[in-house]
């Protein structure tokens, strides 16, 4: 239930991750990333914060119990598996190059 709640709130700000959105891959997982020029910061109980932007953050909705976030930067890959019930909120951070459509999307949703 918590997974569905958060997924519904996040979906409008996500796109399928380009690395996994290919016909030649035979994976059944749904892996997303924030829209271009948008950064998402997830806040969890205990003050854990995970943030990332387009193509740098993988958001995996495949577990009903765990939110799986993978952040890549400078050849380091951090993998976070956190219970959905520990997610407090997510923060939307708009990049300076964002178009008006994205700004309106963030403001209105």
CB–CB of 72/51 below 8 Å? no
pLDDT higher than threshold 80 for residue 67? yes
CB–CB of 48/60 below 8 Å? no
pLDDT higher than threshold 70 for residue 64? yes
Nearest CA among 13, 51, 61 for reference residue 35 = 13
CB–CB of 71/65 below 8 Å? no
CB–CB of 61/3 below 8 Å? yes
C-alpha 52/C-alpha 56 separation (Å) is 6
Q: What is the pLDDT of residue 21?
A: 64
């Amino acid at each position: 239930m918590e997974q569905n709640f958060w997924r519904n709130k996040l979906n409008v700000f996500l796109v399928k991750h380009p690395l996994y959105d290919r016909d030649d891959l035979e994976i059944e997982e749904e892996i997303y990333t924030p829209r271009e020029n948008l950064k998402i910061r997830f806040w969890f109980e205990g003050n854990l914060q995970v943030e990332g932007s387009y193509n740098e953050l993988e958001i995996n909705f495949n577990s009903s119990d765990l939110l799986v976030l993978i952040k890549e930067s400078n050849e380091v890959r951090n993998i976070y598996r956190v219970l959905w019930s520990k997610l407090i909120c997510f923060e939307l951070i708009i990049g300076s190059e964002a178009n008006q459509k994205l700004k309106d999307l963030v403001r209105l949703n």
